[in-house]
Chains A and B, each alone.
Chain A
Amino acid sequence: MPGKASASLILEAVRGGGPHVPQMPPGSKLTDKEIAAIEEWIANGAEWSELTVGLKHRTHWAFVQLPGRVVPPPHKPEVSDIDAFLNRGSAARSFTVAPASDRRTLLRRAAMDLTGLPPDLKEIARFTADTKPDAFARAIDSLMARPQYGEQYGRHWLDVVRYADTAGENTDHPLPHAWRYRNWVINSFNTNLPFDAFVREQVAGDVLAEKVKTNLAAYSEKVTATGYLAIARRFGHDIDQDIHLTYEDTIDTLGKSILGLSLGCARCHDHKFDPISARDYYALYGIFSSTTLSFPGCEPRQQPHDLIPLVPAGMEDAASKARAEKINKIDAELPRARALVIDARQRINAVFAASKTSCGSGEIPDGGESRFTSTPQLLSVQKGDVVEFLVSPLKSHGADSTLLRLNISLPGTRARWSTDSLLDALLDANPNAAGGTSPCWYFLDAKDGGADLLTEKVTSFNGRDTLHAWRNGETPSVFVNSSTTPETVWTTLPARSFFVHPGEHGPVAIAWVSPVDGNVSVDGFIKDVHPGGQDGVGWELRLLRGAAGPLANISAASHRLAALNETRLALEKDAAPPVAYGAREGKAADVPIQKRGEPSDPGELAPRGFPAVLGGTTIRNKASSGRLELANWLTSPNNPLTARVIVNRLWQWHFGTGLVKTPNDFGTRGAMPENQPLLDYLAVELIKSGWNIKAMNRRIMLSQAYQRSSSGAVEVRINDSKHKRNEKVSNGARFQARRLTAEELRDALLLASGQLDLSPGAAHPFPPENTWSFSQHQPFAAEYPTTKRSVYLMQKRNRRMRFFSLFDGSDPNASTPVRDLTTVPTQALFFMNDPFVFECASRSAVISMKVSQKPADQIRNSYKRLLQREPTEIEIKDALEFLSNYKAKFGTLQERRAAAFTAFTRMLMASNEFITID
């Protein structure tokens, strides 16, 4: 109650509590002086936040406008502007400046920095021999011209924006289109998109795209850029219920990534430390709640929607013409293909009806199991006869997943055929024109006494790479769990097992074509593995004389028809315009301030706009969400933060630490810049260059500071008149030796072992959207191995890959401004015992051992490829001794030598030199 200190609850609280409120702060009472100050503040009108704090904070260094020009201290022409700033005041100080790095170290540093991959020895030799003064500048340009530059610097940005390939809600739904945003970021660094445009397109690319509708490429890129907004984390069970948390996450990430401010704190109250009021927060909130984000799906609503077409409405025609022609051609072929199948079906039905003999049947109850043998025990068969096993639904085909083991053997011989042989070869069975190699087994829909082939081949269903199926629609189906552990999907599928599931209207069957003449014995085991349905299943074993020919016929005809249909479907799917996981304009409206951050407790309306302390205003175009104006405001030269924040990040990405050590927090609680004139100079220069990132990289890397050796102690002696003291030189003044990041390490291991696939990644092999049924009990949890660069690995929010946890990968749930590169024993165990390192070492050893018969040459080759240098004589001697003393126990001489060389290689990979950039 401004002006009335006597009625103040605050005063009551700080004085020790009373009838209305408990004592605040709890535990320790404020001093009388502090209480008096509060009393005076209330009596004077209790001005808060937007005025009081705001006025005070307008003088905070980061909120002050950039000067028009920053003049570097006077310096000799051979010294760069950056070095001049760093060396400033050297009259009062004497430096023991670290010497320049040697050429190899410098090129390795620059290559790791810019591309995340080491240079090869030839490049180092070329660079070392290049004595022209601009050699390093050219090396930098050549490194930045490689696609790997965008992958490395794009990864930095993906850290900042907490990129992930899943939504992060309770089921961690996959985001099959997010990769387009990931690749857009990578390409933007490669094409050197000016940073202001880079920001504008991420915030309002969809709006900007409307102006370039006729340029299809530009249009789709701008739309894709809004993935920045859509990859916001989703929350809860029904994600629209918790959408306010997603908006908070969006605002928080926008604040941290572009402005270097924690805006999220203002959701529940005015920011305590930074001049961001709840009104500022809800002014931004209104902008995002007036925006429609692509919907990723969640447990109650599995399918995505509001995906953003990459082709503007009405522009789809040109591309679709050719597709239409192909579809027409297929349509012309289809009637004949269908007729062939019908013909084959009639023939097989006739043969089956005429030749079938039942050799046993039975039923198992819900959850039950049974062993069976044929009656009679031995069936006399000739080549081309067929043994068929049918499983039928009883009352209902629901919950009828049935484990089946069928064994056929020729007594007195070693000949044996079993469904066990299908566990690792299911997809090769059911022979088809596409190269099936196991001609014995057919999988059939046996409803109405027929034998239609199951033609739909499904690899890795439910996202598990050990589950495969043949089916026609959901059911009937045959499938395997090839894993050595049980897999729980709709029910728990035991390890290493074969299954069938009957269709709604009739049995599913597996048919075995006899390749022999003789008396075969048939037995097996059947079990209902999905208890809880209404009933169990029925089974029957039949012998079909001479049915092989008709089976082969229907197989060929069915596969042909299926292939045509599949091609047609793919063409039709292509015909649907590709989409991005992004943002578009929604219903424009201001929102009320939510008291204490609770959507259920609205206060007054907050007109959409930008934080007042940064010179923000309300938006003008009330019919729009305001994102375009926000994007323009963020990248206006008058915005004091955007340029400062990105040049600081660039400095950090090159040197290891920023000039401001809290790159996501330029607010009053953040660290002060070590050298503000330098930071401001870089920010001004960035804007002057047209926000040219590659030019800024070059400028920073051409400084003497960047090129100095990272080893050895460096001291600065302060020689002012009063004090004589030594202090460590600022961290920013030279490159800091660092461990490889998780991605760099994995890429380096793949590269050393000849496995790294440098082609860019695209979409992940997620299961098709129409099959999704993720729940919190069965969340999305697949992993997709690849030998592409690590930036292309699928990143889950709720289940991180162990490798990334182990080596301090980025946090896919929150902006990661700095990678904490730890050193822990479990990382050492990885190098000592992990199969991945063993495999990489073994492959690398094979490469080195091929170059020569002489162990010393093999050692040289490994040093060159893994550490990018020649080994010293001492190192060769040490390695030779290691190889000769390494007691491999088994195998031929050649195998024992390979084992020793693999161990040597693994230790090179484990060495500090391999994992450190100097």
Chain B
Amino acid sequence: MSTRKQFIRSAVTGSMLMSGILHEMLASGETVTSDPLAPRAPHFPAKAKRVIFLFMTGGVSHVDTFDHKPRLYQDVGKEVKLDHPEIKNRPGYERIFLKRPQWDFAKYGQSGTEVSGLFPHIASCVDDIALVRSMRTDHSNHYNATLGMHTGSFAFARPSIGSWVSYGLGTVNRNLPSFVTIAPAQTYAGSQVYASDFLPGAHQGTLVVPGAEPVADIRPQVTADQQHAELAFLARMNHRHQNGRETNPNLAARIRSFETAFGMQSAVPDVFDFSRESDSVLKLYGLERGSTQGFAWQCLAARRMLERGVRFVELIDTGSSGNWDSHGDMMDHARLARNVDQPIAGLLKDLKARGMLEDTLVVWTTEFGRTPFNNRADAKGREHHNWAFSSWIAGAGVKGGTTYGETDEYGVRVAANEVHVHDFHATILHLMGLDHKRLTYRHSGRDYRLTDVAGNVVQGLLS
């Protein structure tokens, strides 16, 4: 209650215009009911207070990016026999051959982590990154694998990881949502990847679409004077109505929701107003001043949200078409990498420079990898590969400069220290101070959790 009053007071000083209505609201003195977004203590102390989840749609090839397989260059065209889900009973795939990556790898940083020429900027940050080369997922279909990476469920609609974190920790800025997904287009599985499902609706991800109006209904359609008059009139109506109905807490909560909404109208556009960002910051991200498109815009918007207390920001780079799903030609990876490489590196460097990497967790992942082979020795593309792929985390609580796990000589199967999607989720929650086995929600007679009945925290990634 006191926090709320404090916030209103600070809003009053900041806005002469609204002082009347805000004083009216302060005077109403309604009691605060249980608030699903109120900040909650983690299960145990943790460094990470917030998350940026970078999701590359379509399946990024691991052997062309973060998992260097020299034998794949030597043995190009060699026939292999595999009982692989993507070739089984598929006409034309009776025989398969190793395919050479089209980019060379080099060692970077003090850690000497190998990264391909697709990501020269991210490569310059490897000492802050813990790279996992032994990811595995359950499904080789975009839809199922994307759903799995976001919800821990490969078939059924379940709450998104962002909703779980919001549910576990709440949020500190009530003028902004706790969980935001910034995506230029819908990825596979549509709105299910940011849905709260059975968790309370307040934990639903708010969709931000890059462009002139990133959040629906945020721009006032009337002048400030007019809105002031409207909200004051509404408050008078609602207070008259409340008379005799004091026991209904929803009426008070709804009156309060209009004050919060009023604050959001300036807080949300403020997030997307980059005019005070310096040229050097824009340059770091590779963002042209005035542009509201591309991954650079998304990354800078994400940093500004985190600064303002948003708990979980997911950035999705592309929609369900025109993405990393390079069946036709792996060279298309170059275009997609260019869109994200400098912005991601810029984000890491910017967070570090501001000291925010100390308490921010950055996650980079995709739904699955791509096959180190194809049905012709000269095939240009690669198919879906769920047996092994690469992902990385950086920032709070993360052991930078590490590589964890490995695949076999061709990058076909995990050879050591497998990290299943459930393990990855358990580790992310752990870094946020949440025990994935204790973060549960009772729904239709059962306690559900993000990691279903599996998941182990990957200790090797922790600092």
Contacts and interface: CB of A to CB of B under 8 A. Distances in A.
Given A878-B236, A882-B229, A828 B257 contact: yes
Contact of A826 (B188, B189, B206, B242): B206
Given A262-B444, A665-B445, A887-B225, A875 B240 contact: yes
A838 B221 contact: yes
Interface stretch (A119-127, A235-243, A313-321): A235-243
B226 interface: yes
B226 A887 contact: yes
Contacts of B113: none
Nearest to A886: B229
B258 A828 contact: yes
A824 B216 contact: no
A832 interface: yes
A266 B245 CA distance: 46
Contacts of B190: 172, 779, 781, 798-799
A741 to B, nearest CB: 13
Contact of A711 (B233, B238, B247): B247
Contacts of B236: 878
A833 B230 contact: no
Contacts of B157: 811, 813-814
Interface stretch (B72-80, B141-149, B284-292, B341-349): B141-149
Given A236-B141, A711-B245, A833-B219, A907 B234 contact: yes
A712 B233 contact: no
A587 to B, nearest CB: 24
Interface string B221-258: 11101110111011011101110110110110111011
B70 interface: no
Contact of B201 (A778, A808, A882): A808
B331 interface: no
A252 B170 CA distance: 32
A805 B262 CA distance: 21
B217 A834 contact: yes
Contact of B255 (A235, A875, A912): A912
Contact of B220 (A262, A665, A832): A832
A830 B247 contact: no
B339 interface: no
A576 B320 CA distance: 37
A137 to B, nearest CB: 28
Interface string A384-410: 000000000000000000000000000
Contacts of B237: 875, 878, 907-908, 911-913
Contacts of A916: 248, 250-251
A777 interface: yes
B266 interface: no
B222 to A, nearest CB: 7
A904 interface: yes
Interface string A673-710: 00000000000000000000000000000000000001
Contacts of A759: none
Highest count of chain A CB atoms <10 Å: which of B204, B233, B248, B325: B233
A170 B186 contact: no
A170 B233 contact: no
Contacts of A669: 445-446
A875 B243 CA distance: 14
Interface in B379-418: none
Highest count of chain A CB atoms <10 Å: which of B236, B238, B251, B444: B444
Interface residues of A, number: 80
A604 B185 CA distance: 48
B463 interface: no
A724 interface: no
B6 interface: no
A799 B186 contact: yes
B19 interface: no
Nearest to A835: B221
B445 A273 contact: yes
B155 A912 contact: no
A802 B141 contact: no
A829 B231 CA distance: 12
B109 interface: no
Contact of A262 (B143, B217, B445): B445
B321 interface: yes
A21 interface: no
Interface in A838-889: 838, 874-875, 878-879, 882, 885-889
Nearest to B443: A814
Contacts of A777: 142, 320-321, 325
Contacts of A713: 247
B103 interface: no
Contacts of A430: none
A888 to B, nearest CB: 7
A532 B328 CA distance: 10
Contact of B200 (A710, A822, A882, A918): A822
| A contacts with B: majority SS | loop
Contacts of A664: 444
A107 interface: no
A828 B226 contact: no
Nearest to A812: B157
A712 B216 CA distance: 37
A820 B201 contact: yes
Interface in B324-340: 325, 328
Interface string A886-901: 1111000000000000
A912 B143 contact: no
Nearest to B204: A805
A912 B254 contact: yes
Nearest to B263: A825
Nearest to A872: B240
Nearest to A168: B157
A826 B141 contact: no
Interface in A750-803: 776-779, 781, 798-800, 802
A415 to B, nearest CB: 35
Nearest to A828: B261
B251 A912 contact: yes
Contacts of A357: none
B38 interface: no
Nearest to A903: B230
A265 B445 contact: yes
A829 B261 contact: yes
A156 interface: no
A830 B445 contact: no
B263 to A, nearest CB: 8
A776 B320 contact: yes
B257 A776 contact: no
B230 A906 contact: yes
A534 interface: no
A307 to B, nearest CB: 25
Nearest to A889: B223
A811 B197 contact: yes
A832 B141 contact: no
Contacts of B250: 737-739, 821, 823, 916
Contact of A800 (B191, B223, B234): B191
Nearest to A737: B248
Nearest to A665: B445
Given A833-B220, A887-B225, A912-B251, A799 B191 contact: yes
Given A170-B144, A886-B226, 4 more contacts: A170-B142, A776-B141, A906-B230, A912-B238
Interface of A: 170, 172, 235-237, 242, 245, 256, 262, 265, 273-274, 488, 492, 532, 662, 664-665, 667, 669-670, 710-713, 737-739, 776-779, 781, 798-800, 802, 805, 808, 811, 813-814, 820-830, 832-835, 838, 874-875, 878-879, 882, 885-889, 903-904, 906-908, 910-913, 915-916, 918
30 contacts: A170-B142, A172-B190, A236-B141, A242-B155, A245-B155, A262-B445, A273-B445, A274-B445, A488-B322, A492-B322, A532-B328, A711-B247, A712-B247, A739-B250, A776-B188, A779-B320, A811-B198, A823-B254, A830-B217, A832-B220, A832-B230, A887-B223, A887-B225, A887-B226, A907-B230, A907-B237, A910-B234, A910-B258, A912-B251, A918-B245
